[in-house]
Amino acid sequence: LEISLDEVNSRGNEDELDLGDDYIEILPLSSFGRRLVLLAKNTLNQKIRDIEKEVIFADYKKKIGDIVIGEIYQNRKHDILVNHNKNELVLPKNEQIPGEKYIKGRILRAVIKEIRRDKGNPQVIISRADNEFLRRLFEIEIPEIFDGVIEIKAIARQPGMRAKRSAK
């Protein structure tokens, strides 16, 4: 909002202001109408939701390649929805292990494969068929791999069938 310099100085302001300075005037809340207060409330709530989405996006972006543990809460035709820390993770059909049964309420381990935006909302894609999932499981289950004594060079697998890895 812009106001003329003469008008500001005529309001009895003890400090003389120059062009471009900020002028702050405290207005009583009762001077606003109901619609304006609701508009301000809704705008503030939307900004908070947008910031929360950005925090979730940044948090999961740092975790790409890490294993997460969540609970299956919805089994849809083409994907599984998993609850992890009150966030929705998506396990698409092509990232599932063929022949595995995904039952609502079961705990599931998967690796975070990617994160993308879906209509402004962060969508976290997880995988159980990716080679990185098997690598991370080996790191968790085998102490020598976790400590770096044994290094996994490559992994080849047919998810749900067989897996081979070369180690050094």
**What pLDDT score does 13 carry?**
61
Question: How large a percentage of the chain has pLDDT more than 70?
Answer: 90
**What pLDDT score does 12 carry?**
65
CATH T-level topology, domain 34-129: OB fold (Dihydrolipoamide Acetyltransferase, E2P) (2.40.50)
Query: What is the SS3 assignment for the chain?
Result: CCCCHHHHHHCCCCCCCCCCCCCCCCCCHHHCCHHHHHHHHHHHHHHHHHHHHHHHHHHHHHCCCCEEEEEEEEECCCEEEEEECCEEEEEEHHHCCCCCCCCCCCEEEEEEEEEEEECCEEEEEEECCCHHHHHHHHHHHCHHHHHCCCCEEEEEEECCCEEEEEEC
| Model confidence pTM above 0.85 | no
**What pLDDT score does 11 carry?**
66
pLDDT grade, residue 4 (50/70/90)?
Answer: confident
Q: What is the mean pLDDT of the chain?
A: 84
Q: Where in the chain is the domain with CATH 2.40.50.140?
A: 34-129
Condensed to tens digits (0 to 9), the pLDDT of residues 64-115 reads 989 999 999 999 888 999 999 889 999 999 888 888 899 999 999 999 999 9
Indicate the residue type of 4.
S
